[in-house]
Structure 1
């Protein structure tokens, strides 16, 4: 699945993703970087930033994370769900391939 960062640094998590890992508006989402990928987790991790999932399903990627990962506005990500760990992995530089 492809997700896009907005100009204001937000990413919209579609309802199907939120349901799969049991995210509700107001939930704390922990954000950290692992091997140049952004990890969004419902459970607290050792080193993380934190944000709150909005009623519309958006969350703000902190500026320091965007700087570390060299993320620009409107960048597209490949989103991979890890349902067991209740995490979403966002890999930057996603481009669709036809095949």
Structure 2
């Protein structure tokens, strides 16, 4: 599946992903970078940033993460749902 970053640095998580990971509006989502991929997790991880899931299912990717990963607006990501680890991996689409 592909996810597109908006001009405001947000990504939309489809409903089926939110349901699979039991994500609710207002949940804290932890964000960190691993080998130039962005990892989103409901559980706290080392060296994380965090954001809050909106009512519409969007997350704001912090500016420092966008800079580290050299992310620009309208960039597309491959989204991989890892149910076992309860994370979402966003990697740049070619």
TM-score by length of 1: 0.93
Partner of 1:19: 19
Q: Does residue 64 of the first structure (1) align with residue 57 of the second (2)?
A: no
Aligned partners of 1:91, 1:7: CA distance in 2, in Å?
A: 18
> CA-atom RMSD, angstroms?
0.6
Runs of 4+ in 1 over 4 A off after TM superposition: none
Structure 2 SS opposite 1:17: helix
Flag structure 1 segments of 5+ consecutive residues without an equivalent: none
Which of the two has higher C-alpha Rg? 1
Q: How is 1:29-44 mapped onto 2 (pairs within 5 angstroms)? A: 29-44=29-44
Flag structure 2 segments of 5+ consecutive residues without an equivalent: none
Q: How many residues align?
A: 94
TM-score by length of 2: 0.98
- Measure how far apart 1:14 and its partner are: 0.4
Partner of 1:85: 85
Aligned partners of 1:54, 1:15: CA distance in 2, in Å?
A: 12
- Measure how far apart 1:84 and its partner are: 1.4
Aligned partners of 2:43, 2:7: CA distance in 1, in Å?
A: 27
